[in-house]
Amino acid sequence: MVMKLEGALSDREAWETGDHCSIGRAMEVVGTRSAILLLREAYYGTTRFDDFAHRVGITDAVASARLKDLVQAGLLTKSPYRVPGQRTRYEYVLTEMGRDLLPAVIALMQWGDKYLHDDGGPLRIVEEATGAPVRVQLVSESGAEVGLDGLRVRLNRDSVKAGIDSRSRRGKRAP
């Protein structure tokens, strides 16, 4: 079972994604273990620097660098707060961009629960109103679940028209 490549994409030797691969670009933003775990903590409600570093189990230097990266990437925003009698500090809050990454993080969690834990993993994500388990799945716009063998990859013509396509190894434009 694999996704089928359509049209000009079916000749995989004639094109490459280069710097324009959305997966590659996303991994540049969140491709470290500490970045994903910091986001996990933000989803759990952590906002303060010391709490992030402690809960993820990383040094202050690593926490500082990764939080800075996540702010620069637009996943978190840095907001000042002040406890009376103390200096101004900053808290880190998820942006819309950061919240939109939640399904990918939950999908990683569910994959880990299934394949890396004999007991199904330590936590469950459930719907607040009903307590029913929540799972990430691939669905079509009609709401039908779609498996790997039911997927096709085709060009996004809007992206190609905008000049986002790259050059292939053979010197041709990517399809």
How confident is the chain (175 residues) per 10-residue block, as mean pLDDT? 89 80 92 96 98 98 98 97 93 98 97 96 96 96 95 84 43 45
For the chain, what is the largest distance between any 2 Cα atoms, rounded to a whole number of angstroms? 66
Rounded to whole angstroms, how far apart are CA atoms 109 and 40? 10
Pick the CATH number of 31-95 from 1.10.260.30, 1.10.10.10, 2.60.40.10, 1.10.3720.10: 1.10.10.10
Q: Give the global pTM.
A: 0.84
DSSP designation for 28: H
Delimit the domains of the chain by residue range: 31-95
